[in-house]
Amino acid sequence: MDTRLFSYLNWGLLACMLALYLVGIGNLYSASGTRLEEGMTFASYYQRQLVWGLIGLTGMLLAMYFDYRRLRNLAWPFFILTLILLLLVPLVGKTVYGAKRWLPLGFMSLQPSELAKLAVLILAARLLARSGNPLGWKEFGIVLAVGLAPAALIITQPDLGTTLLVLLILAGMILFHGIRGYVFKTCLLAVPCVGAFMWFVGMHDYQRQRVLTFLNPGDDPRGTGYHILQSRIAIGSGEIWGKGYGEGTQSQLRFLPERHSDFAVAVFGEEWGFVGCVALVTLFCLFLLSIFSTAVQAKDRFGSMLVVGVFFYFFWQIVINMGMVIGLMPVVGIPLPFISYGGSAMLVNFLLLGIVLNVSMRRFMFKS
């Protein structure tokens, strides 16, 4: 590999990423703590997250090593493989908490819906890179089908969060690429209809309940509303300066549910206060903007579209998760990148950033 490539690396992105990773580990350490009658005990989440992060960093280096343009050739095979795996899930999948999402691989479980995000992202980048012209009905239809096929399989698992994420990433990429005015307007009209269809046909009772509870959490303070109320109390009680690291009563006394995973940022908000939260939001913005800069600087449309896909991959997760925690969005099981505990998500995050760094490194290369 050409060592000159490193001089073109997006160092800002790397810095943001590492900063987020460390904030995540630190926060998870505090969120793992449980105050007992005497002293504290710590669950091992932060250690495992640390290890997964190191694995992820290795994966990231691998993802930077080859020329990203080779991914274009792999887009279809990868996509088809993913579809096959998704089809296998209902047949041989493992049921956990009433949802069939995992394929047992003996030593570990594979969640094909995680692969689907990547597959859709890469294939959509390839399809959108064919032309710079805004999408007409035909092209739009093809790209949409690429997203809807896996989405249809994922939602039956059921996994609303991932389904939404796949479709939202696709929508972001399409909007970035450009779409003809009449197609866009038609879509705008179709959204309420699809929404209504989802509400009455596609959603489970518990999901409908979640949306209703989001609109009025006081209705159900012991059930779904409990998450929302407790996380608002946690964040709000941080006030301006926070309660101090490791001092959050909401999290350490276990009033806050899911405090390692989906509601991890509430722990952060409680302990670091408004100042910390603004810093975190700023960090996320810098992170997103450095991905964005790579997308703009990329020398070919495929690379650019790939990076835009990654941008939306992170953007939607950040918006949906933090929005959920601070009561701007209904409760959907989407983790916050780098902050929420989750090994495979960590690995995917680093792999995707590896692709972004890959694109940024090779932005001055014309020919391979």
Residues 243 to 302: which contact other proteins by CB under 8 A? 249-250, 253-255, 269-270, 273-274, 277-278, 281-282, 284-285, 288-289, 292, 295-296, 298-302
Q: How far is the CB of 290 from other proteins (least distance, A)?
A: 11
Residues 67-126 that bind other proteins (CB under 8 A): 67, 69-70, 72-74, 78, 108, 110-111, 114-115, 118
Phi and psi at 271, nearest 5°, equal -90, -25
Q: Token pair for residue 131? A: 């032309």
Under a CB-based contact definition with an 8 Å cutoff, are residues 10 and 356 in contact?
A: yes
Q: Near other proteins by CB under 8 A, which window of 6-14, 21-29, 139-147, 346-354?
A: 346-354
Q: Which residue's CB is nearer to other proteins, number 58 or number 204?
A: 58
Residue pair 183/138 in contact (Cβ under 8 Å)? The answer is no
62 binds other proteins (CB under 8 A): yes
Q: At 100, phi and psi to the nearest 5? A: -100, 100
Task: Find the part of the chain contacting other proteins (CB under 8 A) among 7-15, 150-158, 160-168, 238-246.
Answer: 238-246
Please count the helices (runs of H) and the strands (runs of E) in the chain: 13, 5
- Please report whether residue 311 would count as binding other proteins according to CB under 8 A: yes
**Of the candidate residues 236, 245, 247, 333, the single one contacting other proteins (CB under 8 A):** 236
Residues 28-57 that bind other proteins (CB under 8 A): 34-37
HSE-CB for 180 with a 13 A CA cutoff: 11
CB of 158 or CB of 309, closer to other proteins: 309
234 DSSP assignment: H
Residue 305 in tokens: 């579209």
- Binders of other proteins among 135-174, rule CB under 8 A? none
- Neighbouring CB atoms inside 10 A of 282's CB total 10
Please list every residue from 176 through 215 that binds other proteins, using CB under 8 A.
176-178
Report the C-alpha gap between 145 and 143 in whole angstroms. Answer: 5
